[in-house]
Structure 1
Amino acid sequence: MATLPECETLKLEQSGSILHLTLNRPDSRNAMSLAMVHELRSVFAAIRDDTGVRAVVLRGTGGHFCAGGDVKDMASARGQKAEDGSDPIFELNRAFGHLLSEAESAPQTTVAVLEGVVMGGGFGLACVSDVALCLESAKFGLPETTLGITPAQIAPFVVRRIGLTQARRLALTGHRFDGSEAFWLGVVHDFAKSGEELDQKLEQLLERIRHCAPHASRMTKELLLSVESEPLDALLDKAARDFAGAVRGDEGQEGTTAFMQKRKPSWAEE
């Protein structure tokens, strides 16, 4: 099992194969500081090869998910002098883009649980999750253009999540919307009317994840993420090789045997 890094802006708790990763800057509604970006990247790097972690649950403290980028960090970067040709604002923004790419490609199944404000960078983080749940009362939006800036690193992931035409509407109007509209848009996969219902839906989801074979889930996520970038014939060739290996592998043999014996496979956690 991987050693998790020490974090000041995150709370980490592992329950069996589930890592609960909680944004923990409640005084700023969990705004995404550069320190938080670095810590999130460190956590995803630490668990990347850890097959003992099958799912990551992203959540926020204080009743909010994330209010977006930390304006104080932006102001500080603007006041810094560029050294060696580097631009502090560019580095700050690009680091968040690296985080989104790394979170999206994490081999674990990532689950975003969204409450309160889900703005800007928080919205982007929600868009790279594999499954997203929210409270109906949650408030979503891309407010960057109302602040005189652009959703630079977030935009590609939003487009992939909900399509170009809706992304244009949200980004170019600063439209804010609740959890039911987020569900209609495809940002989230389900929503709840109360915190108790949200927790119930999360536990039901995690139970389903626990019943999926860990290695097969990793291979499946890699396959799905390759659809947009790989030539179809090459992708299908690789998929067939992976399938053959899976059928002959321990998980494939155990899964088919368990099915025929009408029992749960060995990886299914209670």
Structure 2
Amino acid sequence: MEHLPHCETLLLERNGPALQVTLNRPEVRNAMSLQMVAELATVFTRVEQDPTMRAVVIRGAGGHFCAGGDIRDMAGARGQQAGEGRNDPFYQLNRAFGQMIQQVNESSRIVIAVTEGAVMGGGFGLACVSDLAIAGPTAKFGMPETSLGVIPAQIAPFVVERIGLTQARRLALLGLRIDGAEACSLGIVHQVAESEEQLTGMLGQALDRVRLCAPNATAETKALLHRVGHEPMNQLLDSAAEKFAAAIRGPEGTEGTLAFMQKRPPIWAGNDY
């Protein structure tokens, strides 16, 4: 993105083909306000419009990832005149978050979550829609909604997709909090760092791998993975074969096979791509 959007709740930093998005409300452990939800949606819309952007790294300021929804927004919604059904302010507040997290889930770019401290509620959901999640040594994960008398309405489907129904039931229905090691064993995160230095190293290695993978092929692969289980397998494989043929005849497939034969890195692995 030539011009990063102005954000009040996020810090944005471009690093080559990656954009680091830092949730920046440390005074409330980066609790997600309506404004933050709107700004995240804007950032991901802009990322999709920039072909040079290949990865988005999401982390939190002040030692925490995200403590969930902002209680003050909920109090504000309670103070509004109650509406019925979809006119209810609580419906609109909750659904806005769901639309944003679905947008992040379906982004064609690689989304990396660097989780530290509180990873609760909406923050837990955000981690569950990342392509790669790394936990720092302080990370604690949980779905505390039922202990607050509410439900994990927008994140629950993504948690089930991430770790399966059996484990999602245990976490959601008991309102459990777990550490990074257990989160890794369940598949919520992929790696656990034992120190800040190791966390930085893991992120750097991941971004190095991003550079080695062709951006269009990566986007097509991610879209294909999202289709699994949502349409008949035969139909899906027919479509996938068509996309494979288009890819191998396209510029990335041509360059990739040529680079392999010539024993050199493909052009998208360079710093100027």
Determine if the alignment matches structure 1 residue 141 to structure 2 residue 142: yes
Give the Cα–Cα distance (whole angstroms) in 2 for the partners of residues 177 and 47 of structure 1. 32
Question: Normalised by the size of structure 2, how large is the TM-score?
Answer: 0.96
Give the Cα–Cα distance (whole angstroms) in 2 for the partners of residues 236 and 49 of structure 1. 29
Q: What is the 5 A alignment of 1:21-100? A: 21-82=21-82, 86-100=87-101
Give the equivalent residue in structure 1 for 2:196.
Answer: 195
Q: Shift of residue 6 of structure 1?
A: 1.1
Ranges in structure 1 where 5+ consecutive residues have no aligned partner: none
Determine if the alignment matches structure 1 residue 222 to structure 2 residue 223: yes
Give the equivalent residue in structure 2 for 1:6.
Answer: 6
Corresponding residue SS for 1:126: helix
Q: Shift of residue 47 of structure 1?
A: 1.5
Q: Shift of residue 241 of structure 1?
A: 1.1
Corresponding residue SS for 1:267: helix
Corresponding residue SS for 1:123: helix
Q: Shift of residue 65 of structure 1?
A: 0.2
| Partner amino acid, structure 2, of 1:233 | N
Matched residues, percent identical? 60
Give the Cα–Cα distance (whole angstroms) in 2 for the partners of residues 3 and 229 of structure 1. 37
Q: Is the 8 A contact 1:117 1:139 kept in 2?
A: yes
Determine if the alignment matches structure 1 residue 258 to structure 2 residue 256: no
Q: Shift of residue 253 of structure 1?
A: 0.8
Corresponding residue SS for 1:22: strand
| Partner amino acid, structure 2, of 1:9 | T
Q: Shift of residue 3 of structure 1?
A: 4.1
Give the Cα–Cα distance (whole angstroms) in 2 for the partners of residues 44 and 21 of structure 1. 10
Q: Is the 8 A contact 1:146 1:174 kept in 2?
A: yes
Give the Cα–Cα distance (whole angstroms) in 2 for the partners of residues 269 and 12 of structure 1. 23
RMSD: 1.3
Give the equivalent residue in structure 1 for 2:122.
Answer: 121
Question: Normalised by the size of structure 1, how large is the TM-score?
Answer: 0.97
Q: What is the 5 A alignment of 1:163-174? A: 163-174=164-175
Give the equivalent residue in structure 2 for 1:157.
Answer: 158
Corresponding residue SS for 2:119: strand
Give the Cα–Cα distance (whole angstroms) in 2 for the partners of residues 152 and 83 of structure 1. 19
Give the equivalent residue in structure 1 for 2:113.
Answer: 112
Q: Shift of residue 4 of structure 1?
A: 3.1
> Per-residue displacement from partner, 1:131-152 (whole Å, max 9, x unpaired)?
1001133111000011011001
The number of residue pairs the alignment matches comes to 270
| Partner amino acid, structure 2, of 1:26 | P
Corresponding residue SS for 1:198: helix
Q: Shift of residue 46 of structure 1?
A: 1.4
Give the Cα–Cα distance (whole angstroms) in 1 for the partners of residues 216 and 49 of structure 2. 11
Q: Shift of residue 231 of structure 1?
A: 2.1
